[in-house]
Amino acid sequence: MASDTLTSSEYIKHHLTHLTYGRFPDGHWGFGGNAEEIEAMGFMAIHVDSMFWSISLGIFFLWLFRTVAKNATAGVPGNLQNFVEISVEFVDDNIRSVFGEQNNPLIAPLSLTILIWVFLMNLMDLVPVDWIPLLSGLMGIHYMKVVSTADPNVTMGMSISIFFLVLYYSIRVKGPIGFLKEISLHPIPIKAAIPLNMVLESVTLLSKPLSQGLRLFGNMYAGELIFILIALLPFYLQWTLALPWAIFHILIISLQAFVFMILTIVYITQAHKTEDH
């Protein structure tokens, strides 16, 4: 809903601007008052809204699961425990089918955290786009993006962490020499092709976190943008588009959380494979 003082493009731009705390060009730190100021901060800035929602939802997820885990009984489980166990079993099944039975204490909780956390962050997309920004506006905060996964920093932050994890496991499982061999003698197993192989394998390696992070970001950003565009319609027409899109979006947010988790499992599995010819 565009208010009288804003044009459509201003409204959209406003909705796509993060609440940012950072270093101004003159050296002092503070919240950016408008888009230009924020842009001038460059790298030395942090999206407070993304971090707030991401951490709050992460804590909510851990609190919920921890509460259930502490009160869990081996007898007949309650509804919440059932839900938690279904999630855990779902993650466990996927790991079993992709990763197999290898011993790795990290991959399962990592996947569970990704699945639920990303899902919760995506879920914020279904809250009508104006509600939370309006509330925060009333509290004096003028920029508020609630969908953390529509922030490339958030998705790339996760995918790059996973990338380092993949590097760590590659080196630990295959040894530094084995890892070097893998990226230098693959896909063409002759010595003359080593430089070419290294270029090709580096691209393969680096494209993984990039595609993983950008896929989630792209989907959520596009979804949010469409909700913002729908919100520009007169209020009595909005539901005709917002409702079908929201229903469709339920599928997208679950699917993207699932894809992000599956890719993580696949990448870590690849890091564990000693010979792949």
Partner 1 sequence: MTINLTIFGQAISFAVFVLFCMKFVWPLITEVMRERQKVIAEGLEKANQAERQLEQSSDAAAEELQQAKLKGADLIAQADKRAKQIIEEAKEKAIEEGERLKAAAQAVIDQDVNRAREELRAQVGILAIKGAGRILETTVDIKVHQEMLDKMAAEL
- Supply the residues annotated as catalytic: 211, 215, 219
* 3-class secondary structure, 23: strand
Tokens 């691209």 belong to residue = 203
| Residue 108 in contact with partner 1, rule: CB under 8 A | yes
| Residue 74 in contact with partner 1, rule: CB under 8 A | yes
- Preceding omega of 189 cis (within 30 degrees of 0): no
Task: Dig out the tokens for 233 from the structure.
Answer: 């319609």
Nearer to partner 1, 40 or 241 (CB): 40
Tokens 């909705």 belong to residue = 15
* Site for partner 1, residues 121 to 160, rule: CB under 8 A: 148, 151-154, 156-158, 160
E-state strands within 139-267: none
* Site for partner 1, residues 157 to 196, rule: CB under 8 A: 157-158, 160-161
> Residues 1-20 vs partner 1: string with x where CB under 8 A?
-------------------x
Q: How far is the CB of 212 from partner 1 (least distance, A)?
A: 13
Nearer to partner 1, 11 or 221 (CB): 221
Stretch of 6-14, 34-42, 167-175, 186-194 lying at the interface with partner 1 (CB under 8 A):
34-42
Nearer to partner 1, 109 or 189 (CB): 109
Q: Is the separation of the CB atoms in 47 and 26 below 8 Å?
A: no
Q: How far is the CB of 240 from partner 1 (least distance, A)?
A: 31
Tokens 């842009």 belong to residue = 39
Q: Is the separation of the CB atoms in 66 and 53 below 8 Å?
A: no
DSSP secondary structure letters along 59-82: HHHHHHHHHHHHH--SSS--HHHH
Please enumerate in sequence order all residues whose Cβ is within 8 A of that of 85, keeping only pairs 6 or more positions apart, or say none.
77
Residue 3 sits at φ, ψ, to 5 deg, of: -80, 165
The count of chain residues that interact with partner 1, using the rule CB under 8 A, is: 50
| Residue 242 in contact with partner 1, rule: CB under 8 A | no
Residue 105 sits at φ, ψ, to 5 deg, of: -75, -10
Please enumerate in sequence order all residues whose Cβ is within 8 A of that of 193, keeping only pairs 6 or more positions apart, or say none.
none
| Residue 206 in contact with partner 1, rule: CB under 8 A | no
Other residues' Cβ atoms within 10 Å of the Cβ of residue 85? 14
Q: Is the separation of the CB atoms in 235 and 5 below 8 Å?
A: no
Nearer to partner 1, 197 or 219 (CB): 219
Query: Of these, 11, 15, 53, 61, which contacts partner 1 (CB under 8 A)?
Result: 61
Nearer to partner 1, 66 or 181 (CB): 66
Nearer to partner 1, 48 or 242 (CB): 48
Q: Return residues touching partner 1 (CB under 8 A).
A: 20, 22, 39, 41-47, 50-51, 54-55, 58, 61-62, 65-66, 68-70, 72-75, 77, 84-85, 88-89, 92, 105-106, 108-110, 112-113, 117, 148, 151-154, 156-158, 160-161
